[in-house]
């Protein structure tokens, strides 16, 4: 008596090449199949969430980034290529979005610390009629980028490690081959010079 074979999740195309079902759905989704897109989302959303929380720790941010990922996929579906692993592609794409979000968050924290210092006068003067709040933030970020470029290389490196890469002072000492006090001094001097440069 022949027993029915269990499904392996693999579909065989006419060419003889076996593809996972999610890759079949990926091809359909690229052609505008909303049902295939929904199946991909349903299958990988829990996996992406679990991976994202381990990477970023903030569940709400992870959920937002997953939504951004799938919205971007749908909008750009016609420009997407075939993939060997849908799971790998989605995880790598989510990590890029989360990393970008981390950098933005760190930069915003740094801007806030520097720009809101009591000793720092207003560096940009916009009236309500001249610019929106977003434009004001953009102007401040541009000033910060210019000020960063004017820092001595070692100060800039220490500041980048501390704020943008979230390294501890102990890690900075190892990366830059300096002692603990020198690491703190570099960061302190960098912030002082940033304030000075942005007032100029």
Q: List Cα–Cα distances, 192 to 89, 120, 197, in angstroms.
A: 43, 10, 9
> Do 78 and 15 share a structural domain?
yes
> Do 124 and 77 share a structural domain?
no
Per-residue pLDDT for the chain (200 aa), expressed as one digit of tens each? Answer: 444 444 444 444 434 444 567 788 999 999 999 999 999 999 999 999 999 888 776 788 888 899 999 999 999 999 999 988 999 999 999 998 988 887 767 666 666 566 545 444 343 443 444 444 455 556 666 777 788 888 999 998 998 888 777 788 899 999 999 999 999 999 888 888 887 877 76
> Do 69 and 153 share a structural domain?
no
Nearest-angstrom CA–CA distance, 159 and 91 = 30
Closest by CA to 161, choosing from 149, 145, 173, is 173
**Ramachandran category for residue 177: left, alpha or beta (phi over 0 → left; psi -120 to 50 → alpha):** left
* Size (the chain), residues: 200
Q: What is the DSSP letter of 78?
A: G
> Do 57 and 37 share a structural domain?
yes
> Do 131 and 81 share a structural domain?
no
């Amino acid at each position: 008596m022949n027993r029915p074979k269990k499904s392996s999740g693999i579909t065989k195309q006419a060419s003889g090449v076996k593809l996972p079902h999610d890759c079949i759905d990926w091809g359909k989704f690229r052609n505008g199949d909303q049902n295939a897109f929904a199946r991909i989302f349903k299958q990988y959303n829990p996996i992406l969430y679990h991976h994202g929380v381990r990477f970023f720790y903030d569940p709400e941010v992870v959920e937002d980034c997953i939504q951004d990922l799938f919205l971007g996929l749908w909008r750009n579906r016609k420009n997407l290529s075939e993939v060997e692993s849908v799971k790998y592609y989605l995880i790598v794409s989510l990590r890029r979005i989360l990393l970008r979000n981390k950098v933005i968050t760190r930069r915003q924290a740094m801007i806030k610390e520097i720009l809101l210092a009591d000793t720092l006068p207003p560096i940009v003067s916009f009236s309500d009629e001249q610019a929106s709040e977003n434009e004001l933030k953009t102007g401040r970020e541009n000033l910060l980028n210019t000020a960063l470029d004017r820092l001595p290389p070692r100060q800039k490196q220490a500041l980048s490690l501390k704020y943008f890469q979230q390294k501890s002072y102990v890690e900075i000492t190892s990366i830059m081959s300096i002692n603990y006090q020198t690491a703190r001094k570099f960061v302190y001097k960098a912030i002082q010079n940033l304030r000075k440069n942005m007032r100029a």
